Structure 1
Amino acid sequence: MLSWDERRQLVKVANLYYTDSWTQEQIAKKVGVSRPVISKMLHKAKEFGIVEVYIKDESARTVELEQKLEKKYGLTDVVVVPTVGFTPEMVKRSIGQAGAYYLSKKLKSDVRRLGISWGTTLSEVVKEYPYERREEINIVPLVGGMGTQHVEIHANQLAYELAKKMNGTCSYLYAPAIVETKELKERLEAMQDISAILEEGKKVDVALIGIGNPYKGSTMKSIGYLQDEDLNNLRKKGAVGDISSRFYDESGNPVKHSLNEKVIGLTLEHLKELKKVIGVVEGTHKFESVVAALKGNYLDVLIIDEQTALALVEE
């Protein structure tokens, strides 16, 4: 029996070869494997009945969405997870599994620093991540996060849990995500322990992030970082989404709001400069937030549920 992801990969390779007329060499370069591996995959696709005269598999629908999203938004890779008929909890878990599988398979041996943001979706990714031996890797939190509520989804905790799964090490950013004043933020950022981790965050090889909608299903609101007055002000400023507690507008530009000036963590400008950013997102309520993040060119890889992917293609 093939796993869902194995089937998806076989369909993707077969689609590029038989439908898009790519050479095995071109596909090998895109997928990141040798040409003989692609040859074996094409043979396997026939063996399991995925390829006959045409490609037939339920994953063909999601693979087509993946390719359309790659082309439309200039992404290096997209994973669309079939979630039709799933409950919200099942969707989140499936996205977590896909994110964990992707990270495990695509994380190259030369990656030394992996940055991680925070949130319930990334928590699922970490939960689903397999135990491995990657002693050389260090996990870096990209945003602060302290307190007694929802500790399990804070960046420090996720960095610790993921490092444990990878048998690697982690850094800690001993600061809240958002502080009371800009002056306090500047004082904290001047502290040696905090400034050192913020510098580490700017140099990670790969960043794993979630995307939030401040108005619907907002974890920031449920934790208490956002009050109704904040939401009203953000709406007036045109904020449609947030990454690592940094808010941006429908064009993907950071909004000029006092909250953005009180966040301790990687800025959106620095995020854009990283080599590889993997966004893991679920839920059609985040549609506008994802569109804006893509317009802002913050992502290189997108792992997303089928319904939201379909909406992005049709946008």
Structure 2
Amino acid sequence: MKAAPQRSAPLNLNMSHESDDALIVRTAWLYYMGGFNQEETAARLGLHRTRVNRLLAEAREKGLVSITIQHESARELAAEQAIAKEYGLDFCLATPAIGFGETADPLVAAAQSLISRRAVGSAGANFLRGKLSQGPITIGVSWGRTVEQVALQLAGVRNPEARFVSLMGSLTRNSASNPFEVVQALAARTGGEGHFLPVPFIADTEADRDVLMSQRSVAAPLALAHSATLYLVSIGELTEGASIRTQNMISAEELQSARAAGAVGDSLGKLFSADGQRISHSLNRRTLAVEIEDVRGRDVVLLSGGLEKVDAINGVLRSGLIRGLIIDGDSARLLWARYGAA
């Protein structure tokens, strides 16, 4: 049995590339409302302590600081800190809430989800831009429409020493957001390298999976995935509208079977229950991906956009796998309202 990996230093946001206006409110909230001292605030934001001191001075000069932070972003900042504390995260980053609510209209829900994914994609690209500015880095990338948005919106950064590698089988029949496409897009936008697992995401049988995973062409990218510095992963909700279902990766019967077994969502090809436990199901044994336990304790960041994923997010966050969360503001509010201080 493998020993649990040592937890590394806290994963910071590295927001030094942000404008002062964007940082002033966040710095002031962490210091005055979050209860962090200047050194802790600097560490969380990836800033030097002297800059934090200057930003706090500017917040006072601009009249932002009284009893509360006078800024519209404050509501999301409060949700961010509450969620991070509840789930033991190093950070939670929420985009501004738009005011979306749960709806039974599939067209409205689809439109809301698309907007939310784009917002999270923008925030994720900004986060990634900060990490790429630090030099050589290897980044593991999972499958998903939200992670795809990160690739589409990443711009203004070049890093030939960056390596992007898919964390799961990359060959799909008709998905525009499979890991191969996302990895190649990230590599093209940064001037870095792209690596992928040249196998399907889900094998027909467990025996097929074992044969495919034993191939030499899989060993090298899989080893690279295991050595990644940072992991960007997505979350799937177990509904008929989920990507894993609309792309016919699993059948309607398999979806119902997974839900009957207690699964509320999937990440990295594994099914999770509402309390964060791995579900025993044949799908878990047929997916071709890095093993969950091999990335536990590492810098794993979950990106999620869309209210329909809130139950799945809660389940994966309860697993202890995730260290950072980038989420749309409406989902952050719903997540905290539904599961906060449970």
Give the structure-2-normalised TM-score: 0.85
Counterpart in the other structure of 2:107: none
Selected match of 2:82 from 68, 71, 82: 68
How many angstroms apart in 1 are the aligned matches of 2:113 and 2:34?
34
Counterpart in the other structure of 2:162: 137
Superposition pairs of residues 29-48 of structure 1, within 5 angstroms: 29-46=43-60, 48=62
Q: CA deviation at 1:71?
A: 1.2
Counterpart in the other structure of 2:335: 312
**Could you tell me whether the CA contact under 8 Å between 2:302 and 2:324 is conserved in 1?**
yes
* Secondary structure of 1:143's aligned partner: strand
How many angstroms apart in 1 are the aligned matches of 2:218 and 2:92?
34
Q: CA deviation at 1:45?
A: 2.7
User: Would you say 1:243 and 2:267 are equivalent positions?
Assistant: yes
How many angstroms apart in 2 are the aligned matches of 1:164 and 1:258?
36
How many angstroms apart in 2 are the aligned matches of 1:26 and 1:261?
42
How many angstroms apart in 1 are the aligned matches of 2:139 and 2:34?
34
Counterpart in the other structure of 2:318: 295
How many angstroms apart in 1 are the aligned matches of 2:66 and 2:35?
16
How many angstroms apart in 2 are the aligned matches of 1:111 and 1:300?
21
**Could you tell me whether the CA contact under 8 Å between 1:145 and 1:174 is conserved in 2?**
yes
How many angstroms apart in 2 are the aligned matches of 1:225 and 1:214?
12
User: Would you say 1:202 and 2:226 are equivalent positions?
Assistant: yes
Letter in 2 for 1:55: I
Letter in 1 for 2:269: S
Instruction: Kindly provide the CA deviation profile for residues 73-107 of structure 1, in whole angstroms up to 9, marking residues without a partner as x.
Output: 11111111113246332222111101111121244
Query: How many percent identity over aligned positions?
Result: 28
Unpaired runs of 5+ residues, structure 2, are: 1-16, 101-111
C-alpha spacing 1:78/1:39, structure 2 compared with 1 (3 Å): same
C-alpha spacing 1:5/1:71, structure 2 compared with 1 (3 Å): farther
**Could you tell me whether the CA contact under 8 Å between 1:216 and 1:285 is conserved in 2?**
no
* Secondary structure of 1:141's aligned partner: strand
Selected match of 1:105 from 130, 136, 139: 130
Counterpart in the other structure of 2:245: 221
How many angstroms apart in 2 are the aligned matches of 1:247 and 1:303?
20
* Secondary structure of 2:69's aligned partner: coil
Displaced runs of 4+ in structure 1, greater than 6 A? none
Counterpart in the other structure of 1:115: 140
* Secondary structure of 2:253's aligned partner: helix
Question: Aligned residue pairs: how many?
Answer: 311
Counterpart in the other structure of 1:124: 149
How many angstroms apart in 2 are the aligned matches of 1:297 and 1:167?
33
Counterpart in the other structure of 1:189: 213
Q: CA deviation at 1:118?
A: 1.0
How many angstroms apart in 1 are the aligned matches of 2:136 and 2:324?
16
Superposition pairs of residues 69-108 of structure 1, within 5 angstroms: 69-85=83-99, 87-107=112-132
**Could you tell me whether the CA contact under 8 Å between 2:263 and 2:279 is conserved in 1?**
yes
Q: Which moved more, 1:254-263 or 1:113-122?
A: 254-263
Letter in 2 for 1:304: I
* Secondary structure of 1:290's aligned partner: helix
Q: CA deviation at 1:41?
A: 1.8
Instruction: Kindly provide the CA deviation profile for residues 261-315 of structure 1, in whole angstroms up to 9, marking residues without a partner as x.
Output: 1111112222324x20110001221111111111101111101122221232231
**Could you tell me whether the CA contact under 8 Å between 1:78 and 1:302 is conserved in 2?**
yes
Selected match of 1:17 from 8, 22, 31: 31
Letter in 2 for 1:101: N
* Secondary structure of 2:183's aligned partner: helix
* Secondary structure of 1:172's aligned partner: strand
Letter in 1 for 2:148: S
Q: CA deviation at 1:53?
A: 5.9
Q: CA deviation at 1:61?
A: 0.7
Q: CA deviation at 1:8?
A: 5.0
**Could you tell me whether the CA contact under 8 Å between 2:304 and 2:326 is conserved in 1?**
yes
**Could you tell me whether the CA contact under 8 Å between 1:141 and 1:171 is conserved in 2?**
yes
C-alpha spacing 1:20/1:288, structure 2 compared with 1 (3 Å): closer
* Secondary structure of 1:270's aligned partner: helix
* Secondary structure of 2:232's aligned partner: strand
Letter in 2 for 1:22: F
Letter in 2 for 1:201: A
C-alpha spacing 1:62/1:127, structure 2 compared with 1 (3 Å): same
Q: CA deviation at 1:49?
A: 4.5
How many angstroms apart in 2 are the aligned matches of 1:312 and 1:148?
33
**Could you tell me whether the CA contact under 8 Å between 1:83 and 1:91 is conserved in 2?**
no
How many angstroms apart in 2 are the aligned matches of 1:137 and 1:207?
13
How many angstroms apart in 1 are the aligned matches of 2:247 and 2:20?
38
Counterpart in the other structure of 1:254: 278
Q: CA deviation at 1:167?
A: 1.1
C-alpha spacing 1:120/1:20, structure 2 compared with 1 (3 Å): closer
Q: CA deviation at 1:201?
A: 1.4
